[in-house]
Amino acid sequence: MNKRGFWKTRSGFYLAAMGSAFGLGNLWRFPYVVGENGGGAFVLLYVLLALLVGLPLLIGELMLGKFTRKGVVMATAEIMSSHAKFFRWTGRFSIVLCLVVLSYYAVICGWVLYFLTQFWIVLWAPMGAQPGSLGLLQNNGWLQMGLASVHILVAMTVVMRGVQDGLERWIGAVMPVFVVLLTLLTIKSLALPGAPEALRFIFYPDFSHLGWSSMSHAIGHVLFTLSVGFGTMVTFGSYLRVDEHIPTAGFRVAVMDTALSLIAGILIFPIALSASNAPLTDPGLLFEVVPRFLFSMSGGVLFGLAFFICLYLAALGASIGLLEVIVSNLTDVFKVRRLASVWLSGFFVLLIALLPGLSTTLLKDFNLGKKSLLENFDSILINWCLPIIALAFAFTIVRGLSQIDKKKLFVDTERIESVALFPHWTFVIKWIVPSLIILSLFLQTLGLFLN
């Protein structure tokens, strides 16, 4: 008997997939990676690669889940049973990736919680209360760890309740509120004096600003923000209802997520450019520039509180996606109870989080280059490991599923466009996706020697 849950409603899947896709990647990571890579030209590259690499892989991952009705570890092991171990283990690698990514993601979520409380305190405190800053927080490693732990406990509580009772109901309640808040904030931000300059920065493509690693930064970020290469979408696909058309579902998720990233850029850059001439390339961009500006603006405290509540809910949705994958795979593979695997996963996430969490205090001597451990976690995992795992996924989808099965999963005879698109998707996932990923890794490696 199949004991896996199914999404009760069609919107259940969309809400969970969007909740997992939309997170700190869009609001925290996208703006500073765009800044780091010079603006408009990178945004263009990013959108192109989202279509050419992100979307085809997203569709493929959903197919793996729907076809096997299993989590990513069992799914890849099953359909690649006649291939080399490396490919049978794609699922395992992606779970390790989830675990490590969630550990530093939780630290950043802790930063969000910190600013949320600062805005709350200033809102209620008597005149003149001094809010904290990112610098202050980073000087206190144990506070960072404490906040990351609170965040993980919240995510664990939701995941503990299982796919339908936890995820579906919860994210369903949060998403609409979130979209309304974000829209209001963006309108407000577009009225700022820095808006015209910001829009030019985001949308005017000056290709001379692209560097050797820009392409892999774009691919890494596309995969990260669409939650592809982590096995998340395999798990979500395994809960898909039989009548759900995968390419349509994948397309909607990819378009909405990309649109939300662009909106996040339109929201953040005017604030950043109106606030100061601060460099836009730092992971602290969101947390250094935005709160300082908001605290000094009249009515900014309430605005800021709304903004950080919004950000926290997005980050929580994404964390839940990551944790759900780890938990459901542990449950599948080791046949442990769900509760036990939730506690076990939470424990390991926090254990690993000690490295990025204490990277600005106790472990600050372990910096590599000019970057802290946390920044290195982010760039090594997302710009190197994730594209390599995605490459293995592309191979798994191409070789593990037969052409007939792929066609069955892709084509819906009532949707004539799916018949026409199937050969294109097959071509892209087989040739274009691997070529682009390999090219980007090659250029990035070259950049290491030439810079």
Site of interaction with ligand PHE (CB under 6 A): 20-21, 23-26, 224-225, 227, 230, 232, 318, 321-322
Report the alpha-carbon distance of residue 413 to residue 415 in Å, rounded.
5
CB 15, min distance to ligand PHE, A: 14
Number of other residues whose CB lies within 10 A of the CB of residue 183: 12
Q: Which is nearer to ligand PHE, 252 or 337 (CB)?
A: 252
CB 412, min distance to ligand PHE, A: 27
Nearest alpha-carbon partner for 291 in 158, 115, 44: 115
Burial 143-182 (b: 16+ CB within 10 A, else e): bbbebbbebbebbbebbbeebeebbbebbbebbeebbebb
CB 24, min distance to ligand PHE, A: 4
CB 236, min distance to ligand PHE, A: 10
Give the residue ranges of DSSP H helices in 297-364. 300-334, 338-357
Q: Which is nearer to ligand PHE, 185 or 315 (CB)?
A: 315
Q: Which is nearer to ligand PHE, 23 or 284 (CB)?
A: 23
Q: Which is nearer to ligand PHE, 20 or 376 (CB)?
A: 20
Give the residue ranges of DSSP H helices in 22-84. 24, 30-36, 40-49, 55-68, 72-79
CB 196, min distance to ligand PHE, A: 28
CB 232, min distance to ligand PHE, A: 4
Nearest alpha-carbon partner for 62 in 7, 140, 113, 122: 7
CB 239, min distance to ligand PHE, A: 15
* Residue with token string 């810079």: 451
In sequence order, what are the residues at sequence separation of 6 or more whose Cβ sits closer than 8 angstroms to the Cβ of residue 63? 237, 246, 397, 401, 406, 409, 410
371: helix, coil or strand?
A: strand
Residue whose beta carbon is closest to ligand PHE: 25
Residue 297 corresponds to which tokens in the numbers above?
């603006």
CB 126, min distance to ligand PHE, A: 37
Tell me the one-letter amino acid at 147.
L
Cα torsion angle, 225, 230, 231, 235, sign: negative
Q: Which is nearer to ligand PHE, 320 or 437 (CB)?
A: 320
Q: Which is nearer to ligand PHE, 76 or 232 (CB)?
A: 232
Report the alpha-carbon distance of residue 292 to residue 288 in Å, rounded.
6
Q: Which is nearer to ligand PHE, 290 or 318 (CB)?
A: 318
Give the residue ranges of DSSP H helices in 276-299. 285-296
Q: Which is nearer to ligand PHE, 275 or 290 (CB)?
A: 290
